[in-house]
Amino acid sequence: MEFQERKRWPFLGLPFTFTVYTVREDLITVDEGFLNKRENDCYMYKVQDVELLRSFWERLFGIGTVKCYTGDTTNPQLYLSHIKNAKEIKDFILEASEKARIKRRTLNMLDIGTGDSADVEPEE
């Protein structure tokens, strides 16, 4: 499955920009610019969390912004700004990133601090 959306104006949701987002099962590509082109890729397994942001105007015109928290060095926070079908794309990225991590056998471990005092050495 693949999504391809254009960045839109927040007002009226018109696609008069030169930014195209392509979301595939293994890769997110941001292609921006008219005269000076810039293409940025992020592997799906690097996406750690996804957030959907929708202002009043975005909700009014049926668009939204998807914010991806990634382990990518060029874009630790990747924004897919002012796109249609934002909820579906967010859900797709969330599921595809989990599948990609399982497929590559990568695992994210967070130290949440259990508070067990036996593991902590006393300070001198």
pLDDT value at 120 more than 90: no
Burial 52-90 (b: 16+ CB within 10 A, else e): eeeeeebeebebbbbebebebeeeeebbbbbbbebeebb
Residues above pLDDT 90, as percent of the chain: 64
Give residue 74's Cα distance to chain centre.
13
- Can you give the pLDDT at residue 9? 86
Q: What is the mean pLDDT of residues 56-68?
A: 94
Residue 114 has pLDDT above 70, yes or no: no
Give the mean model confidence (pLDDT) for residues 16-24.
Answer: 93
pLDDT tens column, 23-58: 999 999 999 999 999 999 999 999 999 999 999 999
pLDDT at 115 (0 to 100)? 59
Higher per-residue pLDDT: 76 or 114:
76
Q: Give the length of the chain.
A: 124
